């Protein structure tokens, strides 16, 4: 008679084979966490008969996780010597960082299936396994023999649990215990959780030591002045009010990366460009604790900080010192017809509003499609002006017919300087010169004279250029016409504004139009190289082709259902779009989509994985 465990293993094995052969969900006899993992593995197109995992030989062997785990692993290695058990530690992404094996036969087997340092055992590569499920579900689990999705792993059982930072609660990695199938497998979970607790206690001691060192260094520097100071540790950020008023969005990450590359020379000033486009001069010093390097102490100097004596990098002129209230980017600054409360967006909105009110010539830079012209129009409207700005393009210097002086008819000036002089001027007027970096060097003096003449009559002058990197190609006579500069952030740097932007753009299409809840996550993961202009185009087309009263995921273009970390060729993009359209038409049924495309279902899964394709839930 079969033992209970043997009978169970055979039952699970039969349930797995039935699940792989058809579209039905796994049988209820399979534990819920295993059922869920099987379905994720099948959806990802994981091979059930072959272990193919990425390899990364170069990694930090002195990381805090590895140093905290080493004494625990040393103790377990001595205790497990000669036994058919193995202990493994991975980082939070599933990369194996250390392995200790009790006997050679198990070690050879683990080498054959690449469960070794440098390899990745996340669920997305291997399918159902102890490490992958623990990291995916953020809780301890046991995967027994035939519960593994890949049949090459079914001769072993494993128990794993996530390793958490006791201060932040963030998962730092996972501890896994693997052994041959047998009676001992029922005791694995308790041993793993005990080892995890030991590692977490060591990590807490490291964290406490690091945080004490960072706090002491921060207090010593901030005690003697109010210059901007920032302390960056792995789990701690300390900033005084002078630094907090300036730093926005992803600035902490950018400064941390710059500090790691700077060499930590306290007398060297490094220039760092922040997410809003402005630059900061940084002095960096590494802070050490008894447990090793704790982080970095940064002393910052902003170009507009009083007493910094730095010039504005975009205009070459010294920027005005603004009041603390105007520099506070944490408060919303709404403009008519626009949306967003991101600190970088608030900063440029305040600057544009201030310049429009004071009639201060303003140079706006940023990526194409970020809304620079719309920002100028909104800031001008906020002043109560009755007329819209006249927009002149340096590449095609014809102002709109509605903006030219009465009686001009079709006799529009062809020369750029003539077009600028023909634009209406005076108090309450605004003149926007787009593509200012395209002004020919030979025409720059004439263009500058036209801009200065308009400004002298009370016209608000706004120049619009490409990115900040193109500032050097703006002819010097034209650049001197502007006394303020501001960067309009890219959409990918203000994704927190995405819901408000979507609502704002949809109101222009239809008053009662809305997006399904599943749409925003798809929009949020896109890079948006075309920025707000591209978002508006996507929403307009989705609204025009929608099937219901609201925009559903299936109404979005194929590219938004795919995430690929590289540029696709025209052929690859076409293949991806064809695949997504077929899947959407089949309501997510991979078998039906494969039949319609004339390919195998295995190819469908492989292509979905290659192109990072995700689909809305089946109806």
Query: What six digits make up the tokens of 36?
Result: 């869920």
Domain assignment of residue 536, yes or no = no
Query: How many whole angstroms separate alpha carbon 283 and alpha carbon 247?
Result: 16
* β partners of residue 460: 430
- pLDDT value for 473: 74
| Same-domain check for residues 188 and 153 | yes
- How many other β-carbons are positioned within 10 Å of the β-carbon of residue 15? 20
Q: pLDDT tens for residues 38-51?
A: 988 888 888 898 88
| Same-domain check for residues 196 and 92 | yes
**150 DSSP assignment:** S
User: Could you give the number of structural domains in the chain?
Assistant: 4
How many CA atoms, within 13 angstroms, populate the side-chain half-sphere of residue 451?
30
- pLDDT value for 1: 43
| Same-domain check for residues 460 and 362 | yes
| Same-domain check for residues 289 and 162 | no
Domain boundary among 301, 332, 349: 301
| Same-domain check for residues 145 and 190 | yes
Among residues of the chain, what percentage have pLDDT more than 90? 23
Query: What six digits make up the tokens of 310?
Result: 């730095």
Q: Which residues contact 184 (CB under 8 A, 6 or more apart)?
A: 84, 85
Domain assignment of residue 217, yes or no = no
Nearest to 297 by CA among 218, 364, 355: 218
- pLDDT value for 404: 41
Q: 328 or 544: which carries more pLDDT confidence?
A: 544
Domain assignment of residue 508, yes or no = no
Nearest to 44 by CA among 610, 596, 617: 610
Domain, as residue range, for 438? 316-401+411-489
Q: What is the CATH number of the domain that holds 612?
A: 1.10.10.60
| Same-domain check for residues 277 and 136 | no
| Same-domain check for residues 112 and 180 | yes
How many CA atoms, within 13 angstroms, populate the side-chain half-sphere of residue 293?
13
The dihedrals phi and psi of 428, each to the nearest 5 degrees, come to: 85, 0
Domain assignment of residue 505, yes or no = no
Q: What is the CATH number of the domain that holds 396?
A: 3.40.50.300
| Same-domain check for residues 9 and 81 | yes
In the structure, how many helices (H) and strands (E) does the chain have? Answer: 21, 17
pLDDT band at 148 (very low <50, low <70, confident <90, very high): very high
| Same-domain check for residues 194 and 236 | no
Looking at every residue in the chain, the average pLDDT score rounds to 81
Q: What is the CATH number of the domain that holds 238?
A: 3.30.450.20
Please compute the mean of the pLDDT values over residues 445-455 and round it to a whole number.
Answer: 91
Domain boundary among 275, 301, 327: 301
Query: How many whole angstroms separate alpha carbon 458 and alpha carbon 418?
Result: 19
- pLDDT value for 316: 39
Domain boundary among 434, 466, 489: 489
- pLDDT value for 385: 79
| First and final C-alpha spacing in the chain | 46
Among residues of the chain, what percentage have pLDDT more than 70? 84
Nearest to 23 by CA among 599, 593, 611: 593
Domain assignment of residue 39, yes or no = yes
Q: Coil, strand, or helix at residue 414?
A: coil
Nearest to 48 by CA among 155, 156, 151, 121: 151
Please compute the mean of the pLDDT values over residues 391-420 and round it to a whole number.
Answer: 62
Query: What six digits make up the tokens of 385?
Result: 């002006």
Q: Which residues contact 333 (CB under 8 A, 6 or more apart)?
A: 346, 349, 350, 353
Q: 377 or 168: which carries more pLDDT confidence?
A: 377
| Same-domain check for residues 144 and 239 | no
| Same-domain check for residues 77 and 156 | yes
Q: What is the CATH number of the domain that holds 36?
A: 3.30.450.40
Domain assignment of residue 310, yes or no = no
DSSP string, 516-534: -TTHHHHHHTS--TTHHHH
Domain assignment of residue 133, yes or no = yes
Query: What six digits make up the tokens of 224?
Result: 């003697």
- pLDDT value for 82: 86
- pLDDT value for 617: 55
Q: Which residues contact 199 (CB under 8 A, 6 or more apart)?
A: 65, 68, 69, 72, 89, 163, 175
Element (H, E) at 21: helix 4-21
| Same-domain check for residues 108 and 22 | yes
Chain-centroid distance, C-alpha 247: 17
């Amino acid at each position: 008679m079969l033992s209970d465990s043997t009978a169970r293993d055979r039952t699970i094995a039969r349930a797995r084979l039935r699940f792989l052969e058809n579209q039905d969900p796994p049988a209820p006899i399979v534990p819920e966490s295993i059922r869920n993992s099987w379905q994720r593995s099948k959806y990802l197109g994981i091979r059930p008969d072959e272990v193919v995992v990425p390899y990364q030989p170069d990694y930090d062997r002195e990381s805090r996780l590895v140093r905290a785990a080493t004494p625990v692993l040393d103790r377990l290695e001595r205790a497990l010597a000669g036994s058919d058990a193995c202990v493994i530690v991975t980082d939070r992404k599933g990369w194996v960082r250390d392995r200790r094996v009790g006997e050679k036969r198990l070690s050879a087997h683990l080498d054959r299936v690449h469960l070794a340092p440098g390899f990745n055992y996340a669920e997305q590569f291997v399918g159902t396994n102890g490490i992958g499920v623990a990291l995916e579900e953020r809780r301890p689990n046991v995967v027994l023999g035939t519960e593994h999705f890949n049949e090459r792993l079914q001769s072993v059982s494993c128990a794993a649990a996530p390793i958490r930072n006791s201060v932040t609660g963030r998962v730092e990695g996972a501890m896994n215990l693997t052994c041959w199938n047998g009676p001992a497998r029922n005791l694995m979970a308790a041993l793993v959780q005990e080892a995890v607790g030991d590692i977490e206690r060591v990590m807490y001691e490291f964290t406490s030591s690091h945080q004490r060192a960072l706090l002491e260094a921060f207090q010593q520097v901030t005690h003697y002045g109010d210059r901007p100071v920032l302390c960056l540790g792995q789990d701690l950020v300390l900033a005084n009010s002078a630094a907090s008023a300036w730093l926005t969005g992803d600035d902490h990450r950018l400064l941390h990366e710059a500090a790691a590359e700077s060499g930590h020379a306290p007398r060297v000033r490094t220039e760092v460009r922040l997410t809003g486009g402005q630059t900061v001069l940084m002095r960096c010093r590494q802070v050490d604790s008894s447990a090793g390097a704790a982080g970095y102490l940064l002393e910052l100097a902003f170009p507009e900080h009083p007493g910094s004596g730095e010039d504005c990098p975009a205009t070459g002129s010294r920027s005005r010192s603004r009041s603390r209230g105007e520099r506070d980017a944490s408060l919303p600054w709404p403009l008519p017809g626009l949306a967003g409360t991101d600190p970088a967006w608030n900063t440029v909105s305040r600057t544009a509003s201030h310049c429009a009110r004071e009639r201060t010539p303003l140079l706006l830079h940023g990526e194409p499609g970020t809304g620079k012209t719309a920002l100028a129009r909104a800031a001008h409207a906020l002043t109560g002006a009755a007329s819209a700005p006249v927009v002149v393009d340096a590449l095609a210097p014809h102002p709109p017919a509605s903006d030219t002086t009465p009686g001009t008819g079709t006799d529009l000036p062809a020369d750029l300087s003539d077009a600028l002089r023909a634009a209406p001027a005076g108090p309450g007027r605004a003149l926007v010169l787009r593509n200012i970096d395209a002004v020919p060097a030979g025409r720059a003096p004439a263009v500058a004279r036209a801009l200065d003449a308009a400004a002298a009559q009370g016209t608000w002058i706004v120049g619009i250029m490409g990115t900040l990197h193109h500032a050097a190609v703006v002819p010097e006579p034209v650049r001197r016409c502007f006394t303020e500069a501001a960067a309009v952030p890219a959409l990918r740097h203000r994704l927190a504004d995405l819901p408000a932007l979507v609502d704002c753009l949809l109101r222009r299409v239809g008053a009662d139009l809305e997006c399904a809840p599943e749409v925003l996550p798809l929009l949020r993961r896109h890079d948006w190289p075309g920025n707000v202009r591209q978002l508006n185009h996507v929403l307009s087309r989705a609204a025009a082709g929608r099937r219901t009263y609201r925009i559903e995921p299936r109404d979005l273009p194929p590219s938004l259902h795919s995430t690929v970390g590289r540029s696709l060729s025209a052929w690859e993009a076409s293949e991806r779009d064809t695949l997504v359209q077929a899947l959407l038409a089949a309501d997510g049924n991979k078998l039906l989509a494969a039949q319609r495309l004339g390919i195998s279902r295995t190819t469908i899964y492989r292509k979905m994985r290659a192109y990072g394709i995700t689909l809305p839930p089946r109806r």
